[in-house]
Amino acid sequence: MHASAHRTSGLGLALLSACAFGGSGVAAKPLIDLGLDPLQVVWMRVAGAALILLPVALRSRALLRQRPGLVAGFGIFAIAGCQALYFVAIARIPVGIAILVEFLGPALLLGWIRFVQRRPVTRAAAFGVVLAMAGMTCVVEVWSGLAFDALGLLYAFGAACCQVAYFVLADHGAGEAEAPEPITVIAHGLVIAAVALTAVAHPWTMQWSVLGHQAALGDRDVPAVLLIGWIVLVSTVVAYLTGVLAVRTLSPQVAGVVAGLEAVVATVLAWVLLAEHLGPAQVTGGALVLAGALVAQTAAAAGRPGAPEAQPDALLEPEPSAS
């Protein structure tokens, strides 16, 4: 395939992945409003995706023995923790605010690199962190004593911390000749996340009859089961697979930049479909957060030893966002 066509297809996949991830919160919130517990919605999302990718996990059973820490950490923190905290957050605060707080992850990653790994960061990276934090003060309107539920903001910040765990785990084993395939890590991570969420979501107590009802998506009603299908198939399976293919086609930095559109997609969809309007301060702050995340993520990638294209473990597309 011609290089330009190859790059175009990669950008298309990255954009599709960002849009697929961005639609998870908008589809989940009506289910939560219908009476389902946020953790049970997350459990259905993860368990459904794990079931679909179970054949991949079964074919690579040796990975559990070879990289138990990587697989367990990815499942518990990068998938279960990130998604559960995000869904619990959107039960209390608007989807757009939750996803913007979660996108502090790339900026927080710089803190991990500087203070935990004790590696120097560039001035550009530090500027990205300052930019993101300044934007976040606008998003939550600190000057008015926080415009949104403090606990919901705390949950969203926890999701951002789990996103940092994702980045750290994704870089595990980078450059090794026998680094695991990203899709196998995702498949095993989903299985472990489903088991972990089962222990806290208690799906056996869920009101399964709710799935036969209609859920209010803005001013229209849609079948609840259709929203579950969207979250499982599109916002999880399709989102992860297209993300992996995108970063195999593009450099991790370029794919990461496009992935930042997830926050834009989630905010716009929440605005249009759920009528969750953001004020001028939130819109301005959101732009600053995304700009800071972009600078921080690019600087972090550029500061790692070795060429990014030669780091197979870094080919895992971020979620929130997992969102």
Question: In whole angstroms, what separates CA 114 from the centre of its chain?
Answer: 23
Model confidence at 140: pLDDT above 80:
no
For residue range 214-223, list pLDDT tens digits in order.
999 988 999 9
The predicted model gives 155-178 an average pLDDT of 76
CA–CA gap between residue 92 and residue 241 (Å, rounded): 30
CA–CA gap between residue 112 and residue 106 (Å, rounded): 10
Record the tokens describing residue 225, joined without a space: 């089961």
* Ranges 85-99, 181-195, 248-262: which has the least confidence: 248-262
CA–CA gap between residue 41 and residue 39 (Å, rounded): 5
Reported confidence tier of residue 251, pLDDT bands at 50, 70, 90: low
Pick left, alpha or beta for residue 146 (phi over 0 → left; psi -120 to 50 → alpha; otherwise beta): left
> Which of the two residues, 151 and 11, has the higher pLDDT score?
151
User: Does residue 188 fall inside a structural domain?
Assistant: yes
> Which of the two residues, 201 and 179, has the higher pLDDT score?
201
Record the tokens describing residue 256, joined without a space: 């990461």
User: Does residue 323 fall inside a structural domain?
Assistant: no
Helices 261-273 and 24-33: angle between axes, nearest 10 degrees: 40
User: Does residue 320 fall inside a structural domain?
Assistant: no
User: Does residue 110 fall inside a structural domain?
Assistant: yes
Record the tokens describing residue 290, joined without a space: 């995304």
Burial of 227 (0-12, 13-18, 19+ CB in 10 A): buried
| Structural domain range at position 183 | 3-315
User: Does residue 272 fall inside a structural domain?
Assistant: yes
For residue range 257-312, list pLDDT tens digits in order.
666 778 888 888 998 899 888 888 888 988 888 887 777 666 655 554 443 333 33
Model confidence at 243: pLDDT above 80:
no
C-alpha separations of 156 from 127, 143, 149, 321 in Å: 23, 20, 11, 10
User: Does residue 322 fall inside a structural domain?
Assistant: no
Apex 37 CA angle, 33 and 39, nearest 5: 130
pTM confidence score: 0.83
Model confidence at 4: pLDDT above 80:
no
Average pLDDT of the chain, as a whole number: 82
Query: CA quadruple 181, 67, 173, 16: dihedral positive or negative?
Result: positive
> Domain total for the chain?
1
CA–CA gap between residue 125 and residue 121 (Å, rounded): 6
For residue range 17-61, list pLDDT tens digits in order.
888 989 999 999 999 999 999 999 999 999 999 999 999 999 999
Which helix (H) or strand (E) segment holds residue 214: the answer is: strand 214-217
CA–CA gap between residue 182 and residue 85 (Å, rounded): 23
User: Does residue 154 fall inside a structural domain?
Assistant: yes
